Amino acid sequence: MTFYRTSVGKKVVMAVTGFIVFGWVLAHMIGNLQVFQGPEKLNHYAELLQSLGAFLWIARGVMLAAILLHIIAATQVTLQSMGARPTVYRLHRMRKTTYAARTMWWGGPLIALFVIYHLMHLTFGSVHQGFTDDVYNNVVLGFQVPWVSGVYIAAMILLGFHLYHGLWSMFQSVGLNHPKWNHWRRVFAVLFGLTIAVGNISMPVMVLAGVVKPV
């Protein structure tokens, strides 16, 4: 707890929980991309997850705990940083930084709201009519609604930025910060963010384009 009270301690917690979240996001995307292989493949994947029973709920519990700890640590770091400068600058100049870094503080809450909507949409089926046990059709029919696809696409663009800056910061927080490999650290962060964003965006886009159709 003494270590956690420090700014470094909170950033390490953010890094560790972020690593868990990044792994889950990647696995989630890979599983969902099976929508391109047809209803049998995606529905079998969904049935396989449900067959895990208690293990699935344990994984969900770990994921939820990681997200909550990540949000708490991020909020405390932000408040700590604001508290370090209680008076307002007479002249505020934006220091040179990336767009991803500048949107982290409001991007995180928006992504959290999207996750809640995503669960209500495709997991619990409580925000749209016509929800059935057919996972494939739920996904395709859901994305056939333009504004729903628009929400997903916007959220994935924001998530891509968040993942990029999060990975870059995560490596720095755990001490992997050296001129010899900082370039490759940035390349990895960019590629990971792009992979997740493009992979997830491809699903609503292909549904809207009529490439992926309901059965």
- 13-51 pLDDT per residue, tens: 888 888 898 899 999 999 999 999 999 999 999 999 989
How many residues in the chain?
215
Determine, yes or no, domain membership for 204: yes
Determine, yes or no, domain membership for 89: yes
Q: Which residue has the higher pLDDT, 76 or 212?
A: 212
What whole-number distance in Å separates Cα of residue 27 and Cα of residue 32?
9
The string of DSSP letters for 92-108 reads --PPS--HHHHTHHHHH
What CATH number corresponds to the domain at position 21? 1.20.1300
Helix (H, G, I), strand (E, B) or coil at 211: coil
Determine, yes or no, domain membership for 91: yes
CA atoms within a 13 Å half-sphere pointing along the CA-CB vector of 103: 16
Angstrom distances, CA of residue 200 to CA of 30, 115, 194: 9, 13, 10
The string of DSSP letters for 109-147 reads HHHHHHHHHHIIIIIS--SSTT--S-HHHHHHHHHTSHH
Determine, yes or no, domain membership for 76: yes
Q: What is the pLDDT of residue 16?
A: 86
Confidence of residue 8 (pLDDT cuts 50, 70, 90): confident
Confidence of residue 92 (pLDDT cuts 50, 70, 90): very low
Q: How far is CA 55 from the centre of its chain?
A: 22
Determine, yes or no, domain membership for 80: yes
Determine, yes or no, domain membership for 2: no
List of residues 6+ apart from 110 with CB closer than 8 A:
155, 158
Determine, yes or no, domain membership for 1: no
What whole-number distance in Å separates Cα of residue 157 and Cα of residue 54?
33
Helix count (H) and strand count (E) of the chain? 8, 0
Residues 100-128 pLDDT 10s: 455 566 677 888 889 899 989 988 888 88
Q: What is the pLDDT of residue 143?
A: 95
Query: Which of 11, 76, 38 lies closest to 211 in space, CA to CA?
Result: 38
Which residues span the domain enclosing 73?
A: 7-208
Q: Provide the number of structural domains found in the chain.
A: 1
Determine, yes or no, domain membership for 120: yes
Q: Which residue has the higher pLDDT, 40 or 83?
A: 40
Q: Give the global pTM.
A: 0.81
